[in-house]
């Protein structure tokens, strides 16, 4: 008898949305004009759906008056703020392609994106922390001939742009909306490659609107929900799973701060009576470890989304018990798939929420294949996770060769992640193909070791990487943030904890004690940097 294959598809009685983002927003405004749509906590500004749509249209008219055509690329290089959201929906209204630029980029990187995407109009923050965006734009603009205008948020240039749009442009706005297809490209997001320059994943209305909608459906969003979004808008987590999930259900978007701040996040949940909270595990860990965590009233929370990396069991237990997030979901995805392909369900048990990344979303297919042959694996066998459906990007912007490397002729997106599918269809991520450690011919999956080491009483957080070894090819390095810096564990402590419980080749042979991990802006640990820094 042959084993069932590692293939699953999301059947659903709920139809895909055929709307553009603008048309979908119009539906929300018609249904809930007086409900709150957006709250920017730091500035104290609030919008009902009717007010939000009016400001979106005001900006859309200004873009039309400035000559922005359908398909033109409009960049946004900014931290989280209300204007970011207005730009997202206004560009969608007129069929311009919004290009998200990572706020952490410096001149070399931003110049590449401005040129590669052919950005003609750029919205930017003035400054944030150590980033002087105006100075950096002035430094690179001479090398970007397509860039004709930069508008700074919170600066007179923003007001000057808005003033260009008048009610006389309403007819043009209606005509432009009528020309748009839900399959038009609407967004370019640059994936943070570990080698070479990032690639611009090009996404349509259909890609991201439906993904936001179905992520919201699986956590039962309605117009009663208020979603605290401390994750960055420049990433799919913020602008799709956050903003589009909210507006497609009439829920409220709550921006706690320009960038992640654990105290500001919990203050916003309490003040705004949020029902949902987003974050990567390291964000939840930072919130739970606040000295005054217990002083915050989080009783309004019921759900939220944790994504970006696996959630340790002990962290999930605290999120459910102490943050009241009994219906929290784990999501798995990638920018190229708009982003979510797999998600846990509200009634899943603790083991499924920490041991898996859920099961396939409605209207999407997933399979696990042998990376060498492309043949679908039997359930339980490790292989590369692939996904297909409405969510797969249109391609990498002006890079057909790179697109063909990622999306095969059958339209399957190859994720580069190693995974297994259980008999019940739930998927476990066992690592990145490139992160897998091969020690003396044995395949070692860092995720398994990390999950085990989280159980050590002296470990707050841990990342496992492979580093070069003369005899075995690679050896296992554990990078540990101790629970108490004054009482860090030793390599002997660590190895004693593992002896008899992990196979000998999985036991770390090296230990590095750290105060923090190098992170991307979206909250993922930069393992490549750990390998480079401590692999010598």
- Tens of pLDDT along the chain (536 residues)? 346 999 999 999 999 999 999 999 999 999 999 999 999 999 999 999 999 999 999 999 999 999 999 999 999 999 999 999 999 999 999 999 999 998 988 898 899 999 999 999 999 999 999 899 999 999 999 999 999 999 999 999 999 999 999 999 999 999 999 999 999 999 999 986 544 578 999 999 999 999 999 999 999 999 999 999 999 999 999 999 999 999 999 999 999 999 999 999 999 999 999 999 999 888 999 999 999 999 999 999 999 999 987 788 889 999 999 999 999 999 999 999 999 999 999 999 999 999 999 999 999 999 999 988 999 999 999 999 999 999 999 999 999 999 999 999 999 999 999 999 999 999 999 877 878 888 887 878 888 899 889 999 999 999 999 999 888 889 999 999 999 999 989 999 999 999 988 888 899 999 999 999 998 766 778 898 999 999 87
- CA pair distance 227, 229, nearest whole angstrom: 6
- Residues in CB range of 64: below 8 A, 6 or more apart: 94, 165, 169, 172, 173, 176
Interval 283-332: pLDDT, tens: 999 999 999 999 999 999 999 999 987 788 889 999 999 999 999 999 99
In sequence order, what are the beta bridge partners of 13? none
Instruction: Answer yes or no: same fold for 21-420 and 435-534.
Output: no
Phi, psi torsion values for 45, nearest 5 degrees: -90, 145
pTM score, whole prediction: 0.87
Domain boundaries, the chain: 21-420, 435-534
Q: Identify the helix (H) or strand (E) that includes residue 278.
A: strand 276-279
Phi, psi torsion values for 189, nearest 5 degrees: -125, 130
CA atoms within 13 A on the CB side of 405: 7
Q: From the CB of residue 410, how many other CB atoms can be counted at a distance below 10 Å?
A: 8
115 in Cβ contact with 105 (< 8 Å): no
- CA pair distance 203, 396, nearest whole angstrom: 9
341 in Cβ contact with 332 (< 8 Å): yes
28 in Cβ contact with 389 (< 8 Å): no
235 in Cβ contact with 229 (< 8 Å): no
85, 88, 91, 96 alpha-carbon torsion, rounded to 10°: 160
- Write the CATH number of the domain with boundaries 435-534: 3.30.300.30
- CA pair distance 95, 158, nearest whole angstrom: 20
Domain 21-420 part of CATH 3.30.390.50: no
In sequence order, what are the beta bridge partners of 480? 462, 513
Write the CA distances from 302 to 199, 332, 353, 355, integer angstroms: 37, 20, 15, 21
162 in Cβ contact with 59 (< 8 Å): yes
Distance between start and end Cα atoms, the chain: 49
Write the CA distances from 490 to 82, 456, 527, integer angstroms: 47, 12, 22
Q: What is the pLDDT of residue 194?
A: 41
Q: How many residues belong to the chain?
A: 536
Compute CA 285 distance to the chain's CA centroid, rounded to the nearest angstrom. 18
Q: What letter would DSSP give residue 522?
A: T
């Amino acid at each position: 008898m042959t084993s069932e294959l590692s293939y699953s598809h999301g059947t659903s009685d709920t139809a895909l949305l055929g709307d553009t983002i603008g048309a979908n927003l119009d539906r929300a405004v018609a249904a809930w004009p007086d409900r709150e749509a957006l709250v920017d906590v730091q500035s104290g500004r609030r919008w009902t759906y009717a007010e939000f749509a009016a400001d979106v249209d005001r900006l859309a008219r200004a873009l039309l008056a400035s000559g922005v055509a359908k398909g033109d690329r409009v960049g946004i290089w900014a931290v989280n703020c209300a204007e970011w959201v207005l730009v997202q929906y206004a560009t969608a209204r007129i069929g311009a392609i919004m290009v998200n630029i990572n706020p952490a980029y410096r001149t070399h990187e931003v110049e590449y994106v401005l040129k590669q995407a052919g950005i003609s109009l750029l919205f930017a923050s003035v400054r944030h922390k150590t980033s002087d965006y105006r100075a950096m734009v002035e430094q690179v603009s001479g090398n970007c001939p397509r860039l004709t205008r930069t508008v700074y948020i919170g600066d007179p240039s923003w007001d000057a742009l808005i003033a260009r749009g008048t009610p006389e442009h309403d007819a043009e706005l209606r005509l432009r909306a009528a020309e748009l297809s839900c399959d038009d490209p609407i967004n370019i997001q640059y994936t943070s490659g570990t080698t070479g320059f990032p690639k611009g994943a090009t996404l349509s209305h259909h890609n991201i609107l439906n993904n936001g909608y179905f992520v919201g459906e699986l956590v039962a969003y309605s117009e009663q929900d208020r979603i605290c979004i401390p994750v960055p808008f420049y990433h799919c987590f913020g602008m799709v799973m956050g903003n589009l999930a909210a507006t497609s259900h009439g829920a409220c978007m709550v921006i706690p701060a320009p960038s992640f701040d654990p105290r500001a996040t919990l203050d916003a949940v309490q003040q705004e009576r949020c029902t949902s909270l987003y974050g990567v595990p390291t964000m939840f860990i930072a919130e739970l470890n606040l000295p005054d965590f217990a002083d915050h009233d989080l009783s309004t929370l019921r759900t939220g989304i944790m994504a970006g990396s696996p959630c340790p069991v002990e962290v999930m237990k605290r999120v459910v018990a102490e943050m009241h997030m009994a219906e929290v979901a784990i999501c798995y995805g990638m920018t190229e798939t708009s982003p979510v392909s797999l998600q846990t369900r509200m009634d899943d048990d603790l083991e499924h929420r920490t041991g898996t990344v859920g099961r396939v979303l409605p209207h999407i297919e997933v399979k696990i294949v042998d990376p060498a042959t492309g043949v679908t694996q039997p359930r339980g066998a490790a292989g590369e996770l692939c996904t297909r459906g409405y969510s797969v990007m249109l391609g990498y912007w002006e890079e057909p060769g790179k697109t063909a490397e990622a999306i095969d002729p059958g339209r399957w997106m190859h994720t580069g992640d190693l995974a297994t599918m259980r008999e019940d269809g739930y998927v476990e991520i066992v690592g990145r193909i490139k992160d897998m450690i091969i020690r003396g011919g044995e395949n070692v999956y860092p995720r398994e070791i990390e999950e085990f080491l989280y159980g050590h009483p002296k470990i707050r957080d841990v990342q496992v990487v492979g580093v070069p070894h003369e005899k075995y090819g690679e050896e296992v390095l554990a990078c540990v943030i101790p629970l108490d810096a004054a009482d860090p564990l030793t390599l002997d402590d660590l190895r004693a904890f593992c002896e008899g419980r992990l196979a000998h080749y999985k036991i770390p042979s090296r230990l590095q004690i750290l105060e923090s991990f190098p992170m991307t802006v979206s909250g993922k640990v930069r393992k490549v940097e750990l390998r480079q820094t401590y692999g010598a």
